[in-house]
Amino acid sequence: MIKLPKRTFNILFYLSLLLIIVGASLYLYQRVVAGYLMTVGGAMLAICFVAMVDKSRPPRVRRLNRMGFFGSLAYICAGGLVLSLSNAWILLFTVGTILVIYSLLVRPTKRKRPKSH
């Protein structure tokens, strides 16, 4: 289990998402650069999801972390397919996007409850 400081985690997380988006957008112009950016971004995102692992969390949150991790693995494979000049990368990119977005949006948040008087 990797423990990252909150600031480092946030920088790594947002930078990985940025690299994945830029890699997907550069596909038409610079395929080699796009493949590497997508692969590195997916690897950084996988590190973030590994850093989120906590055995004390409820099973639902751990399941969502696993889904996000598999989505980041799909990004890594999509980057490899971009480098091998295959068009199947679009399918893996879509699957990875669906898994990561779902795992991040459905995650329960801590809400501050107003004090009742």
- Give the pLDDT confidence score for residue 94 in this predicted structure: 95
Which one, of 84, 99, 82, 73, lies nearest residue 25 by Cα? Answer: 82
CB 36 within 8 A of CB 76: no
**3-state percent breakdown (helix, strand, coil) of the chain, nearest 5:** 75, 0, 25
Distance from C-alpha of 69 to C-alpha of 82, rounded to nearest angstrom: 20
Which one, of 46, 45, 52, lies nearest residue 16 by Cα? Answer: 45
- Give the pLDDT confidence score for residue 9 in this predicted structure: 87
Global confidence as pTM: 0.87
Which one, of 99, 111, 87, 84, lies nearest residue 45 by Cα? Answer: 99
- Give the pLDDT confidence score for residue 20 in this predicted structure: 94
Tokens standing for 13? 């997380």
Contacts of 48 (CB under 8 A, 6+ apart): 4, 9, 12, 13, 16, 72
- Give the pLDDT confidence score for residue 52 in this predicted structure: 86
Per-residue pLDDT of the chain (117 residues; tens, 9 = 90+): 678 788 988 999 999 999 999 999 998 898 899 999 999 999 999 999 998 888 888 888 889 999 999 999 999 999 999 999 888 999 999 999 999 999 999 887 776 667 766
